[in-house]
Structure 1
Amino acid sequence: MLTNVVLRRVLMSTPRSAAVRLATTSSSVSPQDDYFAKNAALNRPVSPWINYKLQVTSVLSFSHRMTGLALSALVYGGGIAALYSHNTNFAQVLQSIQTTVPHSLIFTVQVLTATSLAYHTLNGVRHLSWDFGYGFSIKELYTSGYLVIGLTVLSAIAFIMASN
């Protein structure tokens, strides 16, 4: 009971609201100044999405995953399409594709598929060498990455020349 009396006195003795005086400051930069000029003058860093430099290793890793995904989708898509095709064999399916789809589109898909397969295979061999403990220094990573890119370009050129 004594604590309620003390608590009431404390609560009643404090003011319910207090006036707060807001101070104003003058800005050294006017609101009309260009945003980027202001940040450059203040030596603020630029956002990472503007100044980030992609690394060959990260691009190759992402590309390896995407080519694997695309090739898997192609294999599974072909299997599902074959499952739902009624009373047709593979030769009939190819014949119907050749008559309905333009040759330029067929050739583009063939080149993309062959290039993806070559890249994914070559980069897979690169990954297998890592499993055996080879090629982990920065210089070896970049050398093997550029080698994979070069061999992929050469295989794409060879495929284009062989199909003409």
Structure 2
Amino acid sequence: MLSHIVLRRGLLSTRLIAARWPTSSSAMATVSSDDYSEKKKEMNRPLSPWIQYKWQMTNTLSITHRITGMGLAVLVYGGGIGSLFTSQTNFPQILQWFSANTPPSLLLTLKVLIGTSLAYHTFNGLRHLGWDYGFGFDLKQLYTTGYAVIGLTLLTAIAIVLANQ
């Protein structure tokens, strides 16, 4: 018997599996990639999961959450490292210079991009915290909270635009 760790609903649990996995090296040697391919063909299933799954809102929100997190991290760390090279100026002076030398349309675009990225990452992060506590795993709840995150992010974008007029 092999012990296998499974991450399910955000909680770590241990499940014993015996029948699925061979326990001896001789049994493992009998399984070949040709057998795997033939079995998939008989079952009329694709060999790759990327072919099998269709694009959905749930994986789009997951990928976007990662992208916004990386973008915000680069922005924060880049700002911190950049401040090391500007010894005579402080942050409000840098913002004032940037605001004076940037076209208003580009400035508004940057504010909306940064603000909505922060809002989206925060709202979706709260959704993920709910998952860590075991809430919101039903399909209906997944889509409801996903649409709520998208709606709150759009409201944030509208608020940023209206606040800058």
Does TM-score exceed 0.5, indicating one fold? yes
Q: TM (normalized to structure 1)?
A: 0.66
Percent sequence identity is 58
- Residue 121 of structure 2 corresponds to 120
> 1 or 2, which has the higher strand percentage?
2
- Is contact 2:69-2:121 (8 Å) kept? yes
Shift of 1:90: 1.9
What do residues 81-105 of structure 1 show as CA deviations (whole Å, max 9, x unaligned)? 1111131122321222123222211
Q: How does 1:121-140 map to 2 (within 5 A)?
A: 121-140=122-141
Contact 2:119 2:156 (C-alpha < 8 Å) held by counterparts: yes
Would the aligned equivalents of 2:72 and 2:117 in 1 still touch at CA under 8 Å? yes
Give runs of ≥4 in structure 1 deviating > 6 Å. Answer: 48-52
- Alpha-carbon distance in 2 for matches of 1:89, 1:132: 41
Structure 1 position 106, deviation (Å): 1.3
Give 1:151 deviation, angstroms.
1.1
Larger Rg: 1
> How many residues matched?
119
TM-score, normalization by structure 2: 0.66
Report the structure, 1 or 2, having the larger helix content.
1
- Counterpart contact for 2:65–2:121, Cα < 8 Å: yes
- Secondary structure in 2 aligned to 1:133? coil
Aligned to 2:149: 148
Q: CA RMSD in A?
A: 2.2
Distance in 1, Cα, partners of 2:158 & 2:110: 15
**Which residue pairs with 1:55 in the alignment?**
56
Instruction: Measure the CA separation in 2 of the matches of 1:92 and 1:162.
Output: 22
The residue type equivalent to 1:129 in the other structure is G
2:111–2:160 CA contact under 8 A, matched in 1: no
Q: What are the residue-to-residue correspondences of 1:44-83 with 2, within 5 Å?
A: 53-83=54-84
The secondary structure found in structure 2 opposite 1:87 is: coil
Structure 1 residues not aligned, in runs of 5+:
1-44
Q: Which runs of 5+ in 2 are unaligned?
A: 1-45
